[in-house]
């Protein structure tokens, strides 16, 4: 009970003003505009050559700048120069290495060359690596170091084409272990040979070793030569993998002993971006600070129609970035994050399905809007459909559910009708998502809206909307498939199917029950096999799984990036590719190869429709849903437009720190009376005790 | 009739316990403590409550293939009787005794017009014409009726016992303790009946995210709690007793080895041990998928392993105690006398040492029980506890954590799990106290 | 009708009654432990309250000082200390009585001293409470007190802890504590029971002298009449919570009336019992039953990094003796002299370091394993504490039969039961006891059961390790009779380990006096007890309290 | 004394060996090096080659326990087990599988753990003792009874409820403290109050009860009677004599856990997202970072054994009767 005192005592200690006792931050500098965000898992590597996870990307994208980026406001996504002067000049050559000109058929093309010219005068962020001396430290100098900030001397230099080439060489270097190395080998000329060559060389030696396909043309110009025609390559050029990397970095970081001090490229990047990594403490917080050397870039002046009334063009033409500092705090749990957001200590937040009803309601017309309480707090809602798909995959190698046989197909189809994803979305995602009609999410070229885009095998078009086919239809399909009312003729029992999942924890049980119920509708007994991620992957690899759910996040906004998940030669089991269901259909594959190398033309769209049709017919997937992202923003948070490609938005955002300060004050008034009450209660309890003591000491025998 | 792994163990346990009681009852110097327990009010009351829980747990441990659902799910006797609870699910959250969902939705009336509001529940209070006006009264009357039924049932029981026992067992009714016990029985039975009656028409503890009845979940969790509490001790007991006594009695290298083992085990953070072994089960099951083609079997297996590993991690404490006690006992004069009489070591162990450490074993068992029930919740929180598909208070709390962040707060599943868990653990603790006071020689007055 | 002595004493100092107790009753729950007793203690006298264990004598003392646990119900018509009623004093004032005006000494000095405080602190504490000593005065005062209770080199002791002192010294500390408050009345509750004979004498001596010096009254509580006789002016005998007889010492020993008092007197073992005892007929040329040669039991003292054995505790150091068939050898010595070790060593309960033990032809300590088990029947042991020496979880029948089961597995159940029955008869217990549990028996009865258990395997030799010392005087006598009777009937020999010379005189044919692991004197009872040679033996004998007449 | 400690440390070595082996086996029964590689490399485009590279870089391309291909004397040494174990015994934990220096992390995360564990231990100790003393002082009065009941009730509530409740009321409703998080230096206090308070409260039940029994045992001893006979008042007796003796088991009991405080408390830390060693371990288990897990296990057992030694020493300090040899 002394605790009560303790609390009060500490409160007095912890802060002189009792207004924001619960303010988790110690930085109190109102005239700096600091953005507060969070990260849930420590980023493992912040090296643009190796990092391939969205969580790491949210940092990298601010620090490194590849030649191109996606326009912040325009939709559908389109490329625009970032550190490059203009979009790449692409020349095509035939097998004899002759430049093709005029109009020629695609199959002639043997090589294509991308010539990229970069802006002049771009400078790297300040970094000790640019000081000659720092690259040749003595061992005892290194001993003294504890962190990167210990270096007093920091330097910079201008960005040159060489740096881009150097990075591509790093991609090829086996010691770097770039996840896309294997992939790029197929395309960039001389890539494979190069990696063979430098296999046993030291890291720094790649500088002097030439990579035939990638060459510097001038100080500000370089060229990449790739095999055949591969239009998607330009998208790769907008990914961090192709961001410039100064050779000094390697020479600096490879010094012995720095690694033990956690001073490595993985933890302290060297970029040209709008922000640089000031503090990297993955156990607690990561701080990005405005890069003083950042080159001139300005807020875009045109965007979508709606952007104007949304006020997204207010800052048009102003110099970027607006924010001085971004503080990411380690926040594992969703609950505290949400509460802190409501208290105004985070500026933006997603909505966990548990806090959804509190935040959002659907108007009679069915579109989402904020609840009164949220509106009173001046919070704003942004919704957008992400360029990703969550699907249920059937392992096509499985004897029961897989294969091209008609009854297996019917079975799959029956399931995909029975699985009521509309309900799933409304229960588990609070309607944040749209049921997928095919492989492609909206805003990706080739995806059709409304009736044209409907999956007619599963849906009907009724009063101007999709409507899932009736369960009777599914049952009928089951019968045709040979499982009358779900009974497996072999066993005489209900057909048993196995569902592998990695989801554990609180929400999982409900979800599993839901799946079971869905399959029960058509009399199938679903056995759920929860496993950890490794086992799951093993199953997928050796094709022993039967049913599983998985998702795919687009790397770049091109249909190819989705369809290749079903491309036969990408089969997981056979070719260790990304085709997890091991779907194999020659017609489809042939169409895919054709579509892949085309530009976005009407013809391409038609081919895509054919491919969609094939998939819908063969049902290797149950097209689950495309999640809809709901994001909440406080009133002081400006210029938000959700984007799912290369998250470079940070530099566009603006924060009104002063109004934030006021709101926090107003929202976080501590409540004291319960403590007082507890104290009083405690004393009341004590009184009789004291009496009892007095009484006893007065006791006599008679 | 299907017997799961844990079921078999439970049955064994039940048999073992009843045997133990039988033998203990025969031993005169055991009678004194037992009398003492019988005399203590809190002890008996908590015992009654415990037994009540145990009965539910046992009902939930009799499994068979259900005939009604097409997929022939394995269900337990409890599930069978709680059919309405089990199947009358709603769409999503609904408050206790509520007649409508907890969150607004767009409802399309028959005439196609849509409106934004709280839809009526499919089952909860579905029998009411206009809830706003009636439901308070309805709930009240329903409760009364249920209570009445319960009271009636109790009365029958009581009269039956009175007639049969009153003649020669006066004390079953006379002394204050038994009065208290009868009273508790009365409240228990009538309240239970009341709840059952109500739950036919309402969701007594509301529904959870997918509209499953929370009351049902809480009841189902009882078995999990009991299993963890009891099986674990059952698994760890032999280890602890054998090793402890041997170490204490033979000393020398035996002692060294055993000490080595338990120090090593102790010094490993048990969380890791548990996590690793849970993973192992996962692996095993995914390798032998065909043997575990039913969800309940899988989760049962995992539960069993959890008990196993908990047992392995928790035997050391008791083992140490027993070792110390045995070291004392082996110097006792009657043990030496036995040696002088040329009694074999084995015989000495069984006849002289074992019986005289039993009170320690007993005490520690009852004490550990509650601790284990609590541990389950914590483990489930770190996702290394029971299978997420098994009903357990741990999982309920885990889910409730998220719900506490909602506004308006969804408090009922937390409350439900709290009430049930708390009453079980409290009862266990109180009973443990009584047992200890009764059997601990130092406390014997 | 002339006045009795003690009435005269009353006459003389009516006025200077120090403590006056009338109608004191103490009850735990329902049962009265002290039942309406009344007595007075006069200034400067030594008053002894005598009674067997459980007669409520200690309770009486504690109740006067209100030291009983709360569940005790104390009531009295009046308790006056210097004509001031103790009953009406409230609790917070009563601590001015305890320690200040009435001092208290307990039986077991080890447990009665706070193990984690230096004795200096513990004594000083009392002074701090009751007198306002300044810091610098305190230490010398303690010093003086220690000298007063004859603690050697007090300046060192003052900073030592209880466990570093010997038993006698501890008791002296207790006395010092009691004296620190300069009390008018000193209550000594069994002050010497836990000590060896020689120490006993010294402590009593000390008490006497101190009492003389300070002139305080001494309230002595004891079960030992002999001891009391040397100390007390007046004696009160308690039985079952009642004072059955009260009077001046001489008067009491001369003409005690109450049967219980008489019984107590009768039970007193006396040293001269050995002289008027007829010698057993034992022809000396017969080979001895037990022949012990240079018997050694050492305990290693390990020191250093790898626990090398640097030295040994010589518990039993090179002991040799013989014991003839059917005779009794008493092994006398003070606690820690190694007599028990020797006993256990002979029975092979602890490993022997060296020496030969020839027990009617076999060397037990050379055998081991099953062989040893089989031969064990030859020698058996009866322990001191009859409560600890039987498994509380076994029926008496089984306890006795255990040995038979183990060593004569050929005997079938019926015979075994028969045998158990006979044994019970021999130790004068009802046959029905076979089906009862140890805790249902009194101390004496338990000891009988233990003897029966030993006899069950028809041993040649029984080692009796202080079999009587835990028992009340009256019971002691019975046990000894039993043992003698059994010897007559079955010709068993006893190795009788004891510290009580009186008992020795009763039972032994020969005596071996043990000191520091060695046998210092060995010979026939009479000779040893009447003309002791070794100085140690003499000191032992001198220390024995004999009835003052 | 010194010798004694040295010997104890020698004894510790086989223990640590056993722990090491056990943790090793436990981990590799369920995880193959390939799994670890995949886990660490992330999920997209993980090729066999990459996996091999990773294994080679982190030294997981050797056989687990026995290397047949290696030359005779290297059969033992050229294995994952040997390579990974040898460093531990020099308390050099090496680099985690995710490529961070473990010792650095531990050094850093130690303090948050301590800053929760230590205060909650001390405050808890004080609170429990004072409550227990109260109970003993007022023994067999209604006060004691009610407080015992209270203790049992407190005991019967799962710690999770305390945490959830505390976060909800104090953090969310009363807005007295930040809901979660951590900060270095002085400003950490406001984050620590709540966890500490909670862990203290949740500890009272069992703690106070246990101490009470300890005190009662002492109270029944003879020397207490002597103390009373000296004329000490009840309170004097309790504080001067009983407390002093009862502190022996209490203190030594505390000493055992002292070193383990470094390991932090799993639940607290992950609930309040405090970057301590507890959450570090949990993360490691979840992300299957064997290097860290092994390091933590090893550290844990070292500390545990250290605790045991400390206990013995502390006995000699607080209890004059005990001597080490």
Contact D123 A1 (CB under 8 A): no
Measured between beta carbons, the chain D residues lying within 8 angstroms of A333 are 180, 270-271, 273
Contact of C250 with chain B, judged by CB distance below 8 Å, is answered with no
Say whether both D85 and D116 belong to one domain.
Answer: no
Q: Say which range, A366-370, A567-571, B39-43, B92-96, has the weakest mean pLDDT.
A: A366-370
Rounded to the nearest angstrom, the gap between the alpha carbon of residue A110 and the centroid of all alpha carbons in its chain is 34
Across the range A191-215, mean pLDDT stands at 88
Q: For residues C60 and C67, give the distance between their C-alpha atoms in angstroms, rounded to a whole number.
A: 10
Can you spell out the DSSP letters for A181-235? HHHHHTTBTTHHHHHHHHTTS-GGGGGTS-BTTEEEEETTEEEEEEES--TTHHH
Chains that touch D (3 or more CB pairs under 8 A): A, B, C
Residue B443, in any domain of the structure: no
| Whether residues D81 and D129 fall in one domain | no
pLDDT above 90: percentage of residues in chain B: 19
Does B194 share its domain with B235?
no
Contacts of A523 in chain B (CB under 8 A): 70-71
Interface with chain B: mutation pick from A478, A509, A512, A518, highest number of B CBs within 10 Å? A509
**pLDDT tens string A122-134:** 999 999 999 988 8
pLDDT of residue A30: 66
Q: How many whole angstroms separate alpha carbon A443 and alpha carbon A589? A: 24
Q: Would the CB atoms of C90 and A700 count as touching at under 8 Å?
A: yes
Least CB–CB distance from D101: residue in A13, A261, A339? A261
What's the pLDDT score for residue A382?
Answer: 85
Residue-wise pLDDT for C7-51, tens only, equals 555 555 556 788 999 999 998 877 888 988 999 999 889 999 998
* CA distance linking residue C456 with residue C433, whole number of Å: 16
Q: Does the distance separating the beta carbons of D177 and A179 come in below 8 Å?
A: no
**pLDDT bucket at A257, cuts 50 / 70 / 90:** confident
B247 and B180 inside one domain: no
- Average pLDDT in chain B: 84
Mean pLDDT (whole number) for C403-425? 87
Query: What residues of chain B lie within 8 A of the CB of C399, using their CB?
Result: 334
Which pLDDT does position B157 carry in this prediction?
A: 87
For the ranges B87-91, B387-391, C361-365, C393-397, the maximum mean pLDDT occurs at: C393-397
Query: Are B159 and B227 within one domain?
Result: no
- Name the least confident of A480-484, B59-63, C116-120, D136-140: D136-140
pLDDT at A64: 92
Q: C377 to chain B: which residues are within 8 Å by CB?
A: 342
Query: Do B130 and B188 share a domain, yes or no?
Result: yes
Which residues on D lie below 8 Å from C302 (Cβ)? 325
Residue D163 falls within a domain, yes or no?
A: no
Test mutation, A337, A514, A530, A532, chain B, max B CBs within 10 A? A530
D263 and D153 both lie in a single domain: yes
Residue B332 sits in a domain whose CATH number is: 1.10.3720.10
My answer on whether B133 and B229 are in the same domain is: no
Whether residue D143 is found in the same domain as residue D238: yes
Q: What is the pTM of this model?
A: 0.84
B408 domain residue, yes or no: yes
- Shared domain check, D63 and D116: no
Same domain (yes/no): B276, B421: yes
Closest Cβ opposite residue D231 in set C96, C106, C108: C96
Which pLDDT belongs to residue A666?
87
Are residue B400 and residue B326 in the same domain, yes or no? yes
Bridge partners of A642, per DSSP, are none
Residue C157: what pLDDT? 87
Q: Which band of pLDDT confidence, cut at 50, 70 and 90, is reported for residue B445?
A: very low
Chain A CB contacts of B105 below 8 Å: 362
Each as own residue / partner, the long-range contacts of residues B202-205 (CB below 8 Å, 24 or more positions apart, any chain) are B202/B96, B202/B97, B202/B98, B202/B99, B202/B124, B202/B125, B202/B139, B202/B142, B203/B90, B203/B94, B203/B96, B203/B97, B203/B98, B203/B121, B203/B123, B203/B124, B204/B96, B204/B97, B205/B96, B205/B412, B205/B413, B205/B415, B205/B416
**D175/A22 touch (CB, cutoff 8 Å), yes or no:** yes
What is the band of B166 on the pLDDT scale with cuts at 50, 70, 90?
confident
Q: Which of C24, C25, C89, C92 to mutate to test the interface with A (most CBs of A within 10 A)?
A: C92
Q: Is A694 on the interface with C (CB under 8 A)?
A: no
Quote the minimal CA–CA distance from B378 to chain A in Å: 12
In a domain, B40, yes or no: no
- Pick the range with the lowest mean pLDDT from A440-454, A494-508, C74-88, C176-190: A494-508
Same domain, D67 and D135: no
Residue A167 pLDDT greater than 90, yes or no? yes
Mean pLDDT value across residues C373-382? 87
Query: Residue B49 falls within a domain, yes or no?
Result: no
Cα distance from D252 to chain A (closest Cα, Å)? Answer: 24
Residue B326 domain flag: yes
Q: Which of residues B164, B199, B234 is at a domain's end? A: B199
Asked if B158 and B284 sit in the same domain, the reply is: no
Each residue of B223-237: pLDDT tens digit?
999 999 989 988 899
Residue A622 has pLDDT above 90, yes or no: yes
Residue C278 has pLDDT above 80, yes or no: no
Domain contains D103: no
Count other C-beta atoms under 10 Å from residue C257's C-beta.
10
- Is D325 within a domain? no
- B342: nearest CB among C376, C385, C399: C376
**String of DSSP letters for D275-290:** -SHHHHHHHHHHHT-H
For residue D66, being part of any structural domain is answered with yes
For C92, which residue in chain D has the nearest alpha carbon?
D233
Residue C417 to residue C400: CA distance in whole angstroms: 10
Q: Based on the fold, state whether residues B182 and B226 are members of the same structural domain.
A: no
Confidence label for A16 from pLDDT (cuts 50, 70 and 90): very low
Q: What is the pLDDT of residues C442-499, one digit of tens each?
A: 888 999 999 999 999 889 899 998 888 878 877 888 888 899 899 988 889 999 998 8
* Cβ separation C394–B351 shorter than 8 A: yes
Q: Are residues D197 and D300 in the same domain?
A: yes
What pLDDT sits at residue A18? 59
| Surface of D (292-311) touching B: CB under 8 A | 293, 296-297, 300-301, 304-305, 308
Distances (CA, A) of C38 to B184, C72, C84, C504: 51, 19, 16, 38
> Looking at beta carbons, which residues of chain D come within 8 Å of A1?
127
Q: Is residue D299 part of a domain?
A: yes
Residues B172 and B256 in one domain: no
Q: Judge: B333–C383 Cβ closer than 8 Å, yes or no.
A: yes
* pLDDT for position A389: 92
Choosing from B199, B230, B260, the residue where a domain stops is: B199
d(CA A466, CA A328): 42
Both D140 and D282 in one domain: the answer is: yes
Instruction: Give the three-state DSSP class for C493.
Output: strand
pLDDT tens figures, A385-399? 888 999 999 999 999
B48 lies in some domain:
no
Give pLDDT, residue A19: 64
User: pLDDT value at position A15?
Assistant: 46
* Residue D270 domain flag: yes
CB contact under 8 A, A700 and C87: yes
The residue of chain A with its CA nearest to that of D191 is: A24
Q: Model confidence over C283-327: pLDDT tens digits?
A: 555 678 888 888 888 888 776 666 677 778 888 888 888 888 888
Q: Which CATH number does the domain housing residue D282 bear?
A: 1.10.3720.10
In this structure, the answer to whether residues B145 and B234 fall within a common structural domain is no
Based on the fold, state whether residues D146 and D35 are members of the same structural domain.
no
- Per-residue confidence band for B289, with pLDDT thresholds at 50, 70 and 90: low
B268 lies in which domain range?
A: 222-430
- Which residues of chain A have a CB within 8 Å of the CB of D105? 283
Does D177 reside within a domain?
no
Q: Which residues of B touch D30 (CB under 8 A)?
A: 276, 279-280, 282-283
Poorest-confidence range of A101-110, A363-372, B54-63, C309-318?
A363-372
Same domain for B137 and B262?
A: no
Question: Chain D contact for C247, CB < 8 A?
Answer: no
D249 and D119 in a single domain? The answer is yes
Provide the shortest C-alpha distance from residue B276 to chain D (in Å). Answer: 6
Q: Do D50 and D143 sit in the same domain of this protein?
A: no
Confidence of residue C1 (pLDDT cuts 50, 70, 90): very low
Mean per-residue pLDDT, A305-313: 85
pLDDT recorded at residue C113: 92
For residue C474, the tally of other CB atoms under 10 A from its CB is: 15
Closest residue of chain B to C346, computed from CA coordinates: B340
CA distance B114 to chain A (A): 6
Instruction: Measure the CA–CA gap between B170 and B179, rounded to whole angstroms.
Output: 12
Least CB–CB distance from A361: residue in B104, B208, B285: B104
State CA A415 to chain mean position distance: 30
State the pLDDT at residue A8.
Answer: 59
Q: Which of C34, C70, C73, C91 to mutate to test the interface with A (most CBs of A within 10 A)?
A: C91
| Regions of chain D with pLDDT less than 50 | none
Which segment of A299-303, B147-151, C2-6, D241-245 scores lowest on mean pLDDT?
C2-6
Mutate to test the interface with D, among C59, C89, C117 (most CBs of D within 10 A): C117
- Give a yes or no: residue B382 inside a domain: yes
What's the number of domains chain B is made of? 2
Residue B7 located in a structural domain: no
Q: How many CB pairs under 8 A join B and D?
A: 105
Position A494 pLDDT exceeds 50: yes
**Higher local confidence (pLDDT), A412 or B274:** A412
Do residues D291 and D208 share a domain? yes
The predicted model gives A399-427 an average pLDDT of 89
Residue B271: is its pLDDT beyond 70? yes
In a domain, D39, yes or no: yes
Q: Report the domain count for chain D.
A: 2
**How far, CA to CA in Å, does A246 sit from each of A102, A253, A364, B253, C6?**
38, 12, 57, 65, 117
- CB proximity D173 to B under 8 Å: no
Q: Given a contact as 3+ CB pairs under 8 Å, which chains touch C?
A: A, B, D
Verify whether the Cβ–Cβ distance D158 to B374 is below 8 Å: yes
Domain that holds residue D116: 110-158+193-318
């Amino acid at each position: 009970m002394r605790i009560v005192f303790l609390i009060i005592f500490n409160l007095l200690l912890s802060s002189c003003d009792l207004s924001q006792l619960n303010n988790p931050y110690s930085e109190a500098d109102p005239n700096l505009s600091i953005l507060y965000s969070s990260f849930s898992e420590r980023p493992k590597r912040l090296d643009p050559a190796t990092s391939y996870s969205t969580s790491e990307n949210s940092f990298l994208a601010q620090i490194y700048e590849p030649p191109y980026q996606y326009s912040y406001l325009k939709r559908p996504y389109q490329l625009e120069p970032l550190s490059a002067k203009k979009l790449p000049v692409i020349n095509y050559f035939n097998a004899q290495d002759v430049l093709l000109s005029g109009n020629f058929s695609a199959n002639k093309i043997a090589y294509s060359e991308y010539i990229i010219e970069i802006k002049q005068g771009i400078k790297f962020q300040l970094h000790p690596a640019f000081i000659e001396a720092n690259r040749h430290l003595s061992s005892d100098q290194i001993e003294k170091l504890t962190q990167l900030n210990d270096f007093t001397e920091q330097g910079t230099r201008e960005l040159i084409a060489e740096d881009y080439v150097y990075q591509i060489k790093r991609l090829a270097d086996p010691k770097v272990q770039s996840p896309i190395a294997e992939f790029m080998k197929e395309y960039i000329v001389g890539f494979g040979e190069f990696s063979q060559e430098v296999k046993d060389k030291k890291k720094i030696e790649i500088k002097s070793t030439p990579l035939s396909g990638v060459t510097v043309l001038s100080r500000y110009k370089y060229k990449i030569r790739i095999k055949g025609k591969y239009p998607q390559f330009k998208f790769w050029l907008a990914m961090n993998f192709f961001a410039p990397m100064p050779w000094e970095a390697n020479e600096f970081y490879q010094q012995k002993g720095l690694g033990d001090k956690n001073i490595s490229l993985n933890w302290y990047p060297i970029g040209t971006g709008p922000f640089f990594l000031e503090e990297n403490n993955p156990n607690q917080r990561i701080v990005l600070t405005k890069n003083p050397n950042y080159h001139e870039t300005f807020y875009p002046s045109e965007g979508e129609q709606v952007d104007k009334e949304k006020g997204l063009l207010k800052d048009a033409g102003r110099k970027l970035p607006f924010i001085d500092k971004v503080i990411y705090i380690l926040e594992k749990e969703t609950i505290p994050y949400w509460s802190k957001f409501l208290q105004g200590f985070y500026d933006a937040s997603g909505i966990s399905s548990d806090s959804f009803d509190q935040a959002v309601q659907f108007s009679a017309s069915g579109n989402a809007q904020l609840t009164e309480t949220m509106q009173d707090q001046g919070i704003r809602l942004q919704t957008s459909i992400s360029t990703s798909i969550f699907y249920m995959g059937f392992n096509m190698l499985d004897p029961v559910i897989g294969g091209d046989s008609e009854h297996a197909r019917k079975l799959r189809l029956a399931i995909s009708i029975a699985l009521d994803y509309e309900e799933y979305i409304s229960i588990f995602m609070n309607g944040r998502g749209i049921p997928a009609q095919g492989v492609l999410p909206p805003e990706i070229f080739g995806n059709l809206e409304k009736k044209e885009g409907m999956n007619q095998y599963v849906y009907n078009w009724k009063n101007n909307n999709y409507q899932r086919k009736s369960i009777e239809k599914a049952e009928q399909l089951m019968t045709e498939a040979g499982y009358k009312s779900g009974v497996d003729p072999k066993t005489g029992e209900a057909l048993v199917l196995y569902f592998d999942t990695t989801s554990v924890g609180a929400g999982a049980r409900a979800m599993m029950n839901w799946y079971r119920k869905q399959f029960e509708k058509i009399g199938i007994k679903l056995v759920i096999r929860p496993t950890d991620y490794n086992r799951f992957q093993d199953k997928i690899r050796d094709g022993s799984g039967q049913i599983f759910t998985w998702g795919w996040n687009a790397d770049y906004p091109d249909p190819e990036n989705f369809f290749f998940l079903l491309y036969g030669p990408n089969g997981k089991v056979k070719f260790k590719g990304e085709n997890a269901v091991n779907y194999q259909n020659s017609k489809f594959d042939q169409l895919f190869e054709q579509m892949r190398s085309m530009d976005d033309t009407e013809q391409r769209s038609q081919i895509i429709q054919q491919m969609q049709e094939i998939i819908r017919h063969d049902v290797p997937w149950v097209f689950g849903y495309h999640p809809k992202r709901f994001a909440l923003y406080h009133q002081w948070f400006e210029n938000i437009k959700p984007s799912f490609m290369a998250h470079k938005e940070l530099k566009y955002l603006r924060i009104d720190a002063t109004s934030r300060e006021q709101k926090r004050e107003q929202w976080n008034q501590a409540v004291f009376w319960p403590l007082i009450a507890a104290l009083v209660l405690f004393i009341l309890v004590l009184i009789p005790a004291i009496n009892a003591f007095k009484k006893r000491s007065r006791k006599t025998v008679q | 009739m299907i017997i799961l792994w844990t079921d078999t163990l439970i049955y064994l346990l039940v048999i073992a316990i009843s045997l133990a009681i039988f033998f203990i009852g025969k031993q005169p110097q055991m009678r004194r403590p037992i009398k003492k327990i019988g005399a203590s009010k809190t002890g008996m009351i908590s015992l009654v409550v415990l037994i009540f829980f145990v009965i539910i747990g046992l009902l939930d441990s009799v499994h068979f293939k259900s005939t009604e659902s097409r997929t022939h799910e394995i269900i337990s006797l409890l599930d069978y009787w709680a059919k309405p609870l089990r199947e009358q699910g709603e769409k999503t959250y609904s408050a206790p005794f509520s007649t409508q969902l907890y969150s607004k939705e767009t409802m399309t009336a028959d005439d196609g017009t849509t409106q934004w509001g709280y839809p009526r529940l499919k089952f909860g209070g579905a029998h009411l014409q206009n809830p706003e006006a009636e439901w308070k009264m309805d709930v009240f009357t329903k409760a009364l009726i249920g209570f009445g039924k319960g009271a009636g049932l109790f009365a029958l029981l009581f009269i039956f016992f009175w007639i049969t026992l009153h003649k020669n067992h006066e004390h079953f009714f006379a002394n204050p303790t038994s009065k208290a016990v009868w009273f508790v029985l009365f409240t228990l039975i009538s309240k239970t009946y009341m709840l059952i009656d109500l739950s036919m028409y309402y969701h007594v503890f509301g529904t959870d995210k997918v509209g499953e009845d929370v009351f049902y979940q809480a009841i189902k969790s009882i078995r999990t709690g009991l299993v963890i509490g009891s099986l674990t001790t059952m698994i760890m007991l032999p280890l602890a007793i054998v090793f402890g006594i041997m170490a204490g009695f033979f000393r020398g290298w035996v002692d060294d080895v055993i000490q080595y083992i338990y120090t090593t085990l102790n010094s490993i953070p048990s969380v890791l041990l548990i996590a690793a072994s849970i993973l192992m089960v996962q692996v095993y099951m995914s390798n032998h998928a065909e043997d575990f083609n039913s969800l309940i079997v899988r989760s049962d297996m995992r539960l069993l392993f959890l008990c196993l590993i908990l047992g392995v991690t928790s035997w050391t404490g008791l083992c140490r105690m027993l070792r110390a006690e045995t070291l004392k006992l082996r110097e006792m004069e009657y043990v030496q006398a036995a040696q002088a009489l040329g009694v074999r070591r084995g015989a000495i162990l069984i006849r002289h040492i074992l019986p005289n450490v039993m009170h320690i074993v007993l005490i520690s068992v009852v004490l550990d029980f509650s601790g284990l029930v609590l541990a389950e919740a914590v483990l489930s929180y770190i996702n290394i506890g029971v299978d997420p598909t098994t009903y357990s208070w741990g999982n309920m709390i885990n889910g409730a954590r998220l719900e506490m962040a909602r506004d308006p707060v969804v408090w009922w599943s937390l409350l439900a799990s709290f009430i049930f868990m708390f009453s079980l653990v409290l009862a266990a603790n109180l009973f443990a106290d009584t047992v200890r006071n009764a059997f601990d020689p130092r406390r014997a007055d | 009708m002339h006045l009795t002595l003690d009435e005269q004493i009353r006459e003389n100092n009516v006025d200077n009654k120090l403590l006056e107790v009338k109608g004191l009753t103490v009850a735990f729950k329902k049962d009265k432990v002290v039942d309406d007793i009344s007595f007075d203690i006069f200034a400067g006298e030594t008053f002894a309250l005598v009674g067997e264990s459980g007669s409520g004598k200690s309770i009486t003392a504690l109740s006067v000082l209100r030291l009983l646990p709360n569940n005790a119900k104390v009531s009295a018509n009046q308790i006056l200390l210097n004509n001031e009623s103790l009953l009406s004093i409230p609790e917070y004032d009563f601590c001015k009585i305890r320690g200040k005006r009435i001092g208290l000494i307990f039986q077991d000095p080890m447990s009665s001293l706070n193990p984690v405080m230096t004795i200096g602190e513990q004594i000083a504490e009392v002074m701090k409470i009751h007198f306002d000593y300044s810091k610098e005065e305190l230490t010398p005062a303690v010093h003086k007190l220690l000298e007063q209770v004859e603690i050697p080199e007090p300046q060192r002791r003052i900073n030592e802890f209880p466990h570093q002192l010997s038993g006698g010294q501890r008791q002296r500390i207790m006395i010092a504590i009691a004296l620190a408050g300069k009390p008018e009345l000193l209550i000594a509750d069994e002050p010497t029971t836990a000590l060896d004979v020689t120490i006993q004498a010294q402590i009593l001596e000390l008490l006497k002298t101190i009492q003389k010096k300070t002139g305080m009254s001494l309230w002595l509580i004891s079960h030992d009449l002999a001891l009391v006789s040397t100390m007390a002016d007046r004696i009160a005998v308690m039985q079952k919570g009642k004072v059955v007889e009260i009077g001046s010492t001489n008067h009491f020993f001369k003409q005690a009336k109450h049967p219980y008092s008489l019984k107590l007197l009768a039970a007193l073992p006396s040293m001269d019992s050995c002289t008027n005892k007829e010698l057993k007929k034992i022809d000396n040329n017969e080979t001895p039953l037990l022949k012990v040669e240079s018997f050694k039991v050492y305990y290693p003292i390990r020191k250093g990094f790898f626990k090398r054995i640097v030295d040994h505790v010589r518990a039993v150091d090179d002991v040799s003796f013989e014991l003839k068939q059917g005779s009794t050898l008493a092994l006398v010595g003070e606690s820690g002299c190694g007599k028990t070790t020797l006993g256990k060593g002979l029975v092979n309960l602890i490993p022997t370091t060296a020496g030969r033990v020839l027990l009617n032809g076999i060397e037990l300590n050379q055998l081991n394993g099953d062989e040893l088990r089989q031969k064990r029947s030859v020698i058996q042991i009866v322990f001191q504490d009859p409560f600890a020496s039987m498994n509380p979880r076994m029926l008496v029948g089984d306890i006795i039969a255990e040995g038979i089961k183990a060593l004569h597995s050929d005997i079938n159940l019926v015979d075994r039961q028969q045998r158990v029955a006979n044994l019970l008869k021999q130790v004068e217990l009802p046959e029905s006891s076979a089906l009862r549990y140890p805790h249902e028996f009194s101390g004496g009865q338990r000891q009988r059961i233990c003897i029966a258990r030993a006899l069950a395997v028809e041993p040649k030799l029984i080692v009796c390790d202080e079999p009587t010392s835990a028992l009340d005087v009256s019971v002691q006598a019975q046990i000894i009779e039993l043992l003698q009777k059994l010897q007559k009937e079955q010709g068993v020999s006893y190795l009788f380990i004891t510290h009580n010379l009186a008992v020795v005189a009763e039972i032994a044919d020969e005596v071996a006096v043990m000191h520091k692991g060695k046998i210092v004197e060995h010979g026939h009872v009479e000779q040893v007890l009447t003309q002791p040679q070794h100085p140690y033996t003499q000191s032992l004998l001198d220390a024995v309290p004999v009835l003052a007449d | 004394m010194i010798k004694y400690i040295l010997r104890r440390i020698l004894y510790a070595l086989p223990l640590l060996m056993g722990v090491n082996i056990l943790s090793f086996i436990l981990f590799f029964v369920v995880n193959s090096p390939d799994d670890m590689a995949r886990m660490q490399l992330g999920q997209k485009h993980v090729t066999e080659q990459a996996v091999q590279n990773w294994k080679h870089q982190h030294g997981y391309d050797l056989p687990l326990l026995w290397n047949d291909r290696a030359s005779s004397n290297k059969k033992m040494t050229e294995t994952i087990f040997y390579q990974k174990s040898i460093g531990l015994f020099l308390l050099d934990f090496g680099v985690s599988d995710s490529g961070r220096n473990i010792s650095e992390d531990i050094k850093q995360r130690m303090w948050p753990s301590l800053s929760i564990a230590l205060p909650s231990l001390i405050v808890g100790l004080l609170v429990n003792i004072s409550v227990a003393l109260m109970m003993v002082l007022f023994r067999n009065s209604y006060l004691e009874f009610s407080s015992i009941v209270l203790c049992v009730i407190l005991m019967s509530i799962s710690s999770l409820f305390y945490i959830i409740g505390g976060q909800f009321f104090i953090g969310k409703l009363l807005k007295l403290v930040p809901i979660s998080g951590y900060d270095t230096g002085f400003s950490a206090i406001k984050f620590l109050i709540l966890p500490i308070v909670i862990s203290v409260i949740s500890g009272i039940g069992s703690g106070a009860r246990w101490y009470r029994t300890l005190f009662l045992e002492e109270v029944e001893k003879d020397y207490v009677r002597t103390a009373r006979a000296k004329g000490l008042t009840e309170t004097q007796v309790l504080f001067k004599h009983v407390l002093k003796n009862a502190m022996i088991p209490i203190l030594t009991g505390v000493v055992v856990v002292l070193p383990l405080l470094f390991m932090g408390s799993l639940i607290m830390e992950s609930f309040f997202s405090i970057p301590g060693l507890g959450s570090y371990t949990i993360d490691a288990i979840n992300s299957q970072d064997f290097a860290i897990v092994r390091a933590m296990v090893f550290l844990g057992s070292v500390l545990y054994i250290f605790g045991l030694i400390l206990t013995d020493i502390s006995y000699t300090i607080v209890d004059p009767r005990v001597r080490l040899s």
